[in-house]
Amino acid sequence: MASTIRVRAIASGDTTEVQSLIQHPMDSGFVKDAKGEVIPPHHIEVVQFEHGGKTVFTALWGPAVSKDPYLKFSFKGGKKGDDLKVSWVDNKGASDSLTAKIQ
C-alpha cells in the first residue's frame, strides 16, 4: 500500500524547505454522516520531522486541521541526499512513517 505521507524537502543554501501532505480524514467530531449520526473525532495528534538525529519540527494537531493535512516549514542544515524522517500518530493509535531524501 502506498504511504500516507508525501514529503518534498528541498535544500537551498543552508536552509531546507519541507512541505508535506498526509492522507488522513481528520474527522472533527462535529460532522454527521448520511444517517445523521455523528462521526467520532479521528485526527492526527502528533507529526514529527527528524534530520541528522535531531527533531527539526513537531506538529501537534487538533480536529480543526483540514482533511489530508498540509504542512510547510524550513530548517537550517540539511543537504541534498540527506534523510528526512516523517512520522505521525493519530488519536486511535494508528501511525505511519516515511524516510525521504532531501532534494
Single residue of 10, 42, 59, 82 touching other proteins by CB under 8 A: 59
Identify which of residues 72 and 81 has a Cβ nearer to other proteins in the complex: 72
Binding mask 17-46 for other proteins (x = CB under 8 A): --xxx-x--x-x-xxx------------xx
Cβ partners under 8 Å of residue 40, min gap 6: 27, 29
Residues 78-97 that bind other proteins (CB under 8 A): 85, 87-89, 91-97
